[in-house]
Structure 1
Amino acid sequence: MTGWACGIGGCDAVFGDVESLLAHQATEHERHECAVCGTVVPDGFFAIRHVFDEHTRAEFVRAYDADSDDIREREDVKNRIEEEVEVGALRERLDL
């Protein structure tokens, strides 16, 4: 992959590594309120991870008026990022 595109609300930012993308999503975009439980999380990957780790696929479908294509797309994004991210580097960028 030549770059990691943000994709939140028409954002056209592209990054050379996934850690920079996630730091951007966590710091430069508005937070997202989960439509299932009301938890507020950073938008993008973090919101996807929250809904798929904390809720059932059926809850996601109902809360977001989604379908199986939406599930597959978000699961693919989640899996690709989780395969690439270096958690230590991300923590450092977020100063955690």
Structure 2
Amino acid sequence: MTNEINNALRTDENPFPDDSPVLVWFPLPDANPRDRGSWSWLPGSVLSQCGSDEWHVVVELPALAEPDPSIPNGDAAENLLYPACFRDASELRAVSEDEWWRVREGLARG
């Protein structure tokens, strides 16, 4: 039964395949995490589909990243830890890589 469920999640109908660029509904650092009306569409990447309408997504905005305390140079760009979340399809937008970068760079500039 488990294989049937897992196989059903891996169909070609998945609008957000693993590793695809997306915009994800997530709070910026100055937003109230309990007030979804204050959240923004932020650049992210799909880690995996984990339900019929649920995806595990990493939010890839440097302003949200934190140094990895488990290694000496945890604040190096390649060692930063980014938040991950679970979202349904209404909280994700498929985008091209170009659009993903434009959003990320625009947010970095403020």
Same fold (TM over 0.5): no
Q: Which has the higher helix share?
A: 1
Q: Which has the higher strand share?
A: 2
Question: Which entry has the higher C-alpha Rg, 1 or 2?
Answer: 2
Task: Give the TM-score, by structure 2 length.
Answer: 0.24
Task: Give the TM-score, by structure 1 length.
Answer: 0.26
